[in-house]
Structure formats: structure tokens, C-alpha cells
Amino acid sequence: MFWVYLILLFPVYYGLRYLWELIPVGNIRKRAVFISGCDTGFGRLLALKCTEKGIPVFAGCYTKQGEENLQSEAKGSPGRLVTFPLDITKDKSVEDAAEYVKKNLQSDEMLWAVVNNAGVFSCYGPDA
């Protein structure tokens, strides 16, 4: 009997998920996203995807080269892309980034999401 429920559960789940994803999100051009670690990898791809969809993006990059590459790749996209230097290991840099975003949000925009993507690894615990 368990297997019957399990077999019936999967189509119901995926059907509901499909219907849920059909619901459009309104006003995406007024919902800004802040993404850290946009030099390479996931952060860069997410920033580019968001700008392609028309979402305003504030992209924190660790290097100047990363900022320039991201700006050149996003040219022609309908979304607004604003890059700035960001080193999340330094409190001052994070505070400056927060102020920069506050100052550069347009009057009709709001910060809708923060993606903390910067790949910083610290090993905690005893050394073995």
C-alpha cells in the first residue's frame, strides 16, 4: 500500500510544482538584487541571468578585472547592472557596499534579495 501512495504522490507533487511556477512575479524591474562574488562562477552567471530578465542587479566583485568582464558581458541586457568592488572579509568594504546600494537604488526600486555568494572558506575546529 505504501508504494501505491508513493507512486501517486510524485505526479501530484510535480503537477502542483508546475502550476506554482506558472504564477508570474510582478514588477521585477523594480525589485533589485544584491549579489556578492560576481567575478566568476555562480555569482557571475546569476547576475547575467537576472539582467537578461530585466532585474536590476548590484554586483559586488573582488577584482577590477571581474567588474570589467561582467559589465562587458551584460551589455545590451534590459536589466540595470551596477558593479562595485567588494571584499567580504573586510567589514569596511561590506559597510561601504551597503551604503553604495542604498544611495544607488532608484526611487521606484526596492532591494528584494541578497545573495551572499562569495567563496570564503575558514576552517574552524581543532587542527588534525
pLDDT, tens only, 23-44: 988 888 999 999 999 998 899 9
Q: Is the pLDDT of residue 124 over 70?
A: no
pTM exceeds cut of 0.85? no
The pLDDT tens digits for 72-89 are 999 999 999 999 999 988
> Kind of pairing, strands 81-85 and 110-115?
unpaired
User: pLDDT tens digits, residue range 41-68?
Assistant: 899 999 999 999 999 999 999 999 999 9
pLDDT at res. 2:
82
- ∠ CA(101), CA(33), CA(23), 5° rounding? 150
> Residue 66: which residues within 8 A CB-CB, separation 6 or more?
38, 39, 40, 44
Domain 28-115: homologous superfamily in CATH: NAD(P)-binding Rossmann-like Domain (3.40.50.720)
| pLDDT at residue 86 in the model | 93
DSSP 24: P
